[in-house]
Amino acid sequence: GSGGSQDSTIQGTDNDAAVSRLSAVELGYLSDPFARLFVQAAPGPATRRMPIINRGTYTRTTAIDMLIDRFLATTDSSRPRQIVSLGAGTDTRPLRLFISPNPTHRNIAYHEIDFPSMIARKQALLQSTPQLRSLLSSPTQLSPTTWQTSSLITNANNTLTLHALDLRSLTPASTPLQTLSLTAPTLLLSECCLCYLTPAEASAVLSHFTANISSSTPLALVIYEPILPDDPFGRTMTANLAARGITMPTVPAYPTREAQEKRVREEVGLERARSETVDTIWELWVPEQEKQRVDRLEGGLDEVEEWRLLAGHYVIVWGWRGHGLDMEVSAES
Ligand code: SAM
């Protein structure tokens, strides 16, 4: 189809993510008071996802939360830090951070970038939802494509800036780059976004940020996306996505954890790069007691082989540079 219909198919993937988040929240996997606000579905019970999907949502969400916590805990929390979410969609993470009692969850300038139609909807929701209006100031418009709101929680000093922009048209003059501090510690996040761009587009997006942020500034990158090696499961997943009109052009370019880490080191220029599959993250990062709690929610997981196969095809790859910042994760159990 045309670029336009491909773009709207890709925007639709956010609704999938929002429904999966709500499914995991309603079944008790995750705690997120904002998940329901962003699901357009009719009132009543949310779409219930399969147990392996719920476990996947749980694992990826808690793993990314943990990496962000490391970033916030190992940079100076008395000064501003920036989180830039590429293709943020209806992600609730900034809102969850803003109500968190963790003392390092302050001085956060959270920037979200997505297509104009997605940002317009999010902006309207922030504006009109009573539950959010008691948490955040009314969004002010900084430019024709930028809205900013700040946390009303005293002393938190957190802001959320929404940027309406096709990442493929990012230039040094675009508001995300103009409104960022070039010296505040920065974390770039792509939770299933850069995979929809070509490898050249994805690396151009990342270089716009890395080139602008001074090299002495702590910088971290966290990417979550599928890796689809040329194996039977990878081929089936690719075919299923294609049947829905979705292509993920970066995926053949970085089909393995090694290729993903090389991308972070060589293309993005971060000294340290790490990666784990979602399968391994569940095994090694989730404490035993928490694993038992999660397992009990749906009476134990029958589809263990399916879980391993699916979760083995998604990775979190992360990298960092800069004095003090430490995003090394060691197994908890
Ligand atoms: N990060 C969110 C999450 O994990 O819940 C949403 C993920 S959703 C699968 C992908 C998001 O990336 C969508 O909101 C889509 O609109 C956005 N996206 C994809 N390509 C984009 C582009 N070229 N410019 C801006 N946003 C884009």
**C-alpha 170 – ligand 1 centre gap (Å):** 15
pLDDT, mean over the chain: 92
> By alpha-carbon position, which residue is closest to atom 18 of ligand 1?
87
- Nearest ligand 1 atom to the CA of 189 is 1
Residue 40 CB-half CA count within 13 A = 9
Q: Are 29 and 297 in contact (CB under 8 A)?
A: yes
> By alpha-carbon position, which residue is closest to atom 27 of ligand 1?
87
pLDDT band at 252 (very low <50, low <70, confident <90, very high): confident
DSSP classification of residue 119: H
- Topology of domain 51-321, CATH: Rossmann fold (3.40.50)
Enumerate long-range contacts of 71-75, CB under 8 Å, 24 or more apart: 71/185, 71/187, 71/220, 71/320, 71/325, 71/327, 72/102, 72/104, 72/105, 72/108, 73/104, 74/324, 74/325, 74/326, 74/327, 75/185, 75/218, 75/324, 75/325
Which secondary structure element, helix H or strand E, spans residue 25, and what is its range? helix 3-26
**C-alpha 186 – ligand 1 centre gap (Å):** 20
CA dist., res. 257 & res. 279, Å (int)? 13
**C-alpha 140 – ligand 1 centre gap (Å):** 23
Question: Which tokens in the block code for residue 28?
Answer: 């008790």
**C-alpha 192 – ligand 1 centre gap (Å):** 7
Question: Which tokens in the block code for residue 268?
Answer: 């993005």
pLDDT value of position 1: 37
* Cα dist from 34 to 38, 138, 184, whole Å: 7, 17, 28
Q: Indicate the pTM of the whole model.
A: 0.96
Which secondary structure element, helix H or strand E, spans residue 111, and what is its range? strand 108-114
Reported as a single tens digit per residue, the pLDDT across 182-204 is 999 999 999 999 999 999 999 99
Residue from 6, 10, 62, 85 whose mutation best tests the ligand 1 pocket (most atoms within 8 A of CB): 10
Residues with CB under 6 A from ligand 1: 10-11, 13-14, 17, 87-89, 91, 113-115, 118, 166-168, 191-193, 196
pLDDT band at 5 (very low <50, low <70, confident <90, very high): confident
pLDDT band at 2 (very low <50, low <70, confident <90, very high): very low
CA dist., res. 112 & res. 22, Å (int)? 20
CA dist., res. 48 & res. 60, Å (int)? 18
Query: Measuring CA to CA, which residue among 141, 159, 162, 138 is closest to residue 150?
Result: 159
Question: Which tokens in the block code for residue 90?
Answer: 């209806």
Give mean pLDDT, residues 220-227: 96
- Nearest ligand 1 atom to the CA of 14 is 8
326 burial (CB, 10 Å; 0-12 / 13-18 / 19+) is middle
DSSP states of 199-263? HHHHHHHHHHHHHHS-TTS-EEEEEEEE---SSHHHHHHHHHHHHTT---THHHHS-SHHHHHHI
Domain boundaries of the chain, sorted by first residue? 51-321
Reported as a single tens digit per residue, the pLDDT across 113-172 is 999 999 999 999 999 999 999 999 999 999 999 999 999 988 899 999 999 999 999 998
Give mean pLDDT, residues 278-304: 96
